[in-house]
Amino acid sequence: MVSDLIEANERFRGILDRLSTKSIEDYYNPYRVFEWPETLPENMWWMSPDLTSTHGSEVVRDLGEEQLHRLSKYESVNFYSLNVHGIRELLIEVTRRIHTTDFEAPSEFFHHFIGEENEHMWFFAEFCSRYGHKIYKQPRGGNASVPASEAESLLVFARILIFEELVDYYNAKMAQDTGLHDTIRQVNRIHHQDESRHIAFGRELVAILFDDFRVGASEEELRNVERYLKRYVSYSFESLFNPQVYRDAGIEDPLEFRSTLLNSPTRHEFEQRVFRKPLSYLVKTGIFRDKNLHVA
Amino acid sequence: MTSTAPGTIDAVRDWIVGKHPERSPVDQHIDLIENRLIDSLSFVEFVFVIEKASGTSIDVDTVDIDDFRTLSAIEKAFFPA
């Protein structure tokens, strides 16, 4: 029972109290805090250049500055679209658990979490609709997102944490990037501020869920968790390489372009850079044996 | 591994076998989703593989999951004769 694990963990209870208090103290009205200009200039970087999917790759040589700017615009709209979809998925999972017997202990914090995530989804969707005139969709299908097992809550919250850490890497960089438009920096800065609480919570929760799971798990079950989450890391990374983005930016063969980038020698370094913090955490907790994401 | 003919369903079959070599050969009528050859983490890539092999653009808003269940259904939906 997750609540029992938390109740027995004085440190975690203290963290939950502090995070809830901080949520109340830092509360802002997202519907008032942003000033949305009518338009944003087309001829600028919409995303920090070293965060764009083509950074460091050979294909950059074939693209002019104007096309790189256009690409960065659609990549940024894709990034915020991924946020919208990712937040919807995590809201579904957290809402399924709030005030159930198993999750009574973190439910007070879940109220803040759900409220804040709903607001984040709103401002990301607003950005996409205002400046990209769309929210990119992703094909959805296949079996359940998280396979039903004893590890279900562990996998759900580990996925949420990985997703938040990925997004936060981008947010933190773009919030600091003085080359970006103020509106773009503000969206990223505000999200980064709130996410630091959610990430702190996620790290604590995932660690205790894993400690509990591994007590009764076989070696094979532990490896299955590792394999599944490593696949999720790569899946999340690859979702940043959207053929629809390349099509909108005027790239001739979007699928081939995507393939070239994902098979480029720079991919590994880029992926490891983006996930440096969560991979260190996942290895430190014992969920991953190593940081190698591409295992047979 | 069979050799892939461009513009045919073979490219899709080869991609699945590449992911699950232990499940080769993949029958034309086996349910790929029920049998976990395709799950939610591989579905996006799977759609791109079909698009690339067939030259057909797939509208993600109107995807009918049954069109992706078997190689036979995929061939019928996305590889017009």
**pLDDT of the residue at A66:** 94
Q: For residue A115, is it within any domain? A: yes
A231 closest CB neighbour out of B33, B41, B47 = B41
Cβ of B48 within 8 Å of Cβ of A238? The answer is: no
B38 closest CB neighbour out of A142, A144, A238 = A142
Average pLDDT score over chain A? 94
Cβ of A139 within 8 Å of Cβ of B58? The answer is: yes
pLDDT in tens, A143-158: 666 666 789 999 999 9
ipTM of the complex: 0.86
Cβ of A142 within 8 Å of Cβ of B47? The answer is: no
**pLDDT of the residue at B4:** 47
The number of domains in chain A is 1
In the structure, what pLDDT confidence band is assigned to residue A40 with cuts at 50, 70 and 90? very high
Domain range for residue A133?
Answer: 2-284
Q: Is the pLDDT of residue A181 over 80?
A: yes
Q: Tell me the whole-structure pTM to 2 decimals.
A: 0.93
**pLDDT of the residue at B80:** 80
CATH number at residue A199: 1.10.620.20
d(CA B32, CA B35): 5
Q: Go through the domains of chain B in sequence order and give each one's CATH number.
A: 10-78 (1.10.1200.10)
pLDDT in tens, A186-200: 999 999 999 999 999
Mutation pick from B12, B22, B34, B40 vs chain A, by most beta carbons of A within 10 Å, is: B40
pLDDT in tens, B3-56: 445 578 999 999 999 999 998 899 999 999 999 999 999 999 999 999 999 998
